[in-house]
A and B are shown apart, each in its own frame.
Chain A
Amino acid sequence: MIRYFNKFINYLGLALAYMRFNLRAQLEYRQAFISQVVAMFVNDAFWVVFWCLFFTKFPVVRGWTSKDVITLWAINAAGYGIAFSFFRNVNNIPYLIARGQLDSWMLYPRALLPHLLVGTMSATAIGDAIFGYAVYGFFIRPDIPHMLLFVLLSFGVALVFVSFSILVGSLSFYLGNVEALGDQMRGALVAFSTYPASIFDGAIKLILFSFLPAGFVGYLPAQALRELSFIPVLEVFAGGFVMSCVATFVFYYGLSRYESGSLMEMRG
């Protein structure tokens, strides 16, 4: 048990070192970094404006109000931001597999998947994370329990986003290059999870809690925050845990089929 705990602490140290390094690399182009963060913030704000316009005309959509949709957007953006600002490399998995470029990562004396994930960071995702927390704080004006629950849920949502991206990316081991498919799947996940969940029912709702886990990044967190209930929180983390186990299995099982690209590569 202590061994696993030490391993976890050791990994946290590695992740922090990568974060520091990646952030410094981003700040080398300070103007570009700031403009990307601000632009992503504004980009998300446009969506909130759209929903405000929509709800001005139609105040309630099957029990969902503008406040619920803003919460939905905030938790989505915060979770997405955390996931991809620190684990941006997850989106490169199909690319690395298809071009046989996992070799350089396999040479390190580290567990492959967690090490690979922290390899790069995204400036725009930082804008998403800032947007999520700022919008929830500014528009919803939560009390302390709601804010703490929001912070907790944002990490659960991030876990689902990262796990889903690993799962989709790992399909490259079996299907060849799935970069386009991965983009579409992630796009679909975000699209389904940023609309009021009450508009979906029947078989689609089943899909949103299984193959395309939009229910875990949208509906359940929004429900938890609306009702200040812990059961949906547990469901979010349970969903994220199951998905991360499946994704890890699919990745390592697929790794046995991996073929090197025999590529000479330097990593700085």
Chain B
Amino acid sequence: MIASLRKYYWIALMAARTNLAYVGEVAARSVFLAILLYIYLRLWTITYAQSNATRLGDLSLEQMLWYLVATQSIYMSTPKVAQNLDQDVRTGTLAVQLVRPLSFPLYYLWNALGERSVRFGITFLVGSIVALILVGPAPLTVPGYLLLLAALPFAFCLDFLGYFLVGLGAFWLEDTSGVLLIYQKSVMLAGGLLIPMELFPDSIKPIVQALPFSSIVYGPAHLFVHPDLAELGNLLLKQGVAICGFTVCVWFVWTLAVKRVHAMGG
């Protein structure tokens, strides 16, 4: 068991190290994040001013921008799980991977976690610098960082399972990029990427909160700006239930998919 875990730990470490070699590239791509944060700041500054409010939902303007730093960092750090899996299925690389003495889905999971941790770290750092310049450090607390760190691994696992399911679609579909786009936008909208759950209309708030997407983006980001142990407990429970449900789906689809793999020598 421990030997098996160590194997996957090394896979994650290798993926992280590989990505560290491209720190400059990831940081350069974060310029786009800086542009987005500036636009959000303008939009929300005007919205707060027009509403004559110091807080919208339970967030001040500074907290709102830091919330957006966290949500964007989570969203933009996503590795290309579905695209890579799609390619592995189409090119037949999958058959070679299956021969290895490790679980293919777990290999993909740990590889994605290693890659994502580096990408998230860099994106979050760039976003934090931009937010510091734009609104200053006002609402940040140590518990906020700790609760974010506690919620992120499960958020990343849950998101991975979603992307892996999309990638598995390559066994049946000519092209999975369309499904991928819809999944990404579902995370964006229902996950609270641009607007916190508190500001959703009351009629749809319960539906959106019940969906697993809010546990990926909104949950960890809200804990970051509004640390609360009870909320962390609720979030971890939601994440746990969603991970179990998604794992069953992945297992079921994977079992069906593997039966469709035909390998030839050569």
In the complex, what residue of chain A is closest to B40 when comparing beta carbons? A195
Decide if B32 touches A53 in the complex (CB within 8 Å).
Answer: no
A50 close to B (CB within 8 Å): yes
Decide if A50 touches B195 in the complex (CB within 8 Å).
Answer: yes
Contact with A along B143-168 (1 / 0, CB 8 A): 00000000000000000000000000
A31 close to B (CB within 8 Å): yes
| Known A-B contacts A50-B195, A53-B200; A195 and B43 likewise in contact (beta carbons under 8 Å) | yes
Decide if A53 touches B29 in the complex (CB within 8 Å).
Answer: no
Chain B nearest CB: distance from A9 CB in Å? Answer: 36
Chain A residues within 8 Å of B201, by CB: 53, 56-57
Q: A189–B173 Cα gap in the complex (Å)?
A: 33
Chain B nearest CB: distance from A44 CB in Å? Answer: 9
Interface of A is mostly: helix
A36 close to B (CB within 8 Å): yes
In the complex, what residue of chain A is closest to B203 when comparing beta carbons? A56
Decide if B175 touches A29 in the complex (CB within 8 Å).
Answer: yes
Q: For the complex, count residues of B whose C-beta is within 8 A of A.
A: 32
Decide if B35 touches A191 in the complex (CB within 8 Å).
Answer: yes
Interface of B is mostly: helix
Chain A residues within 8 Å of B46, by CB: 61-62, 198-199
Decide if B189 touches A49 in the complex (CB within 8 Å).
Answer: yes
Chain A residues within 8 Å of B182, by CB: 39, 42-43
B7 close to A (CB within 8 Å): no
Contact with B along A58-79 (1 / 0, CB 8 A): 1011100000000000000000
Chain A nearest CB: distance from B251 CB in Å? Answer: 25
- Which positions in A face B, CB cutoff 8 Å? 29, 31-32, 35-36, 38-40, 42-43, 46, 49-50, 53-54, 56-58, 60-62, 124, 180, 184, 187-188, 191-192, 195-196, 198-200
- Which positions in B face A, CB cutoff 8 Å? 25, 28-29, 31-32, 35-36, 39, 42-43, 46-47, 50-51, 173-175, 177-179, 181-182, 185-186, 188-189, 194-195, 199-201, 204
Taking A31-B174, A39-B182 as given, write out 19 further A-B residue pairs in contact, using a Cβ cutoff of 8 Å, ordered by the A residue number.
A29-B174, A32-B174, A32-B178, A35-B175, A35-B179, A39-B179, A42-B185, A50-B189, A50-B195, A53-B201, A56-B201, A61-B46, A61-B50, A62-B46, A124-B177, A188-B35, A192-B35, A192-B39, A199-B42
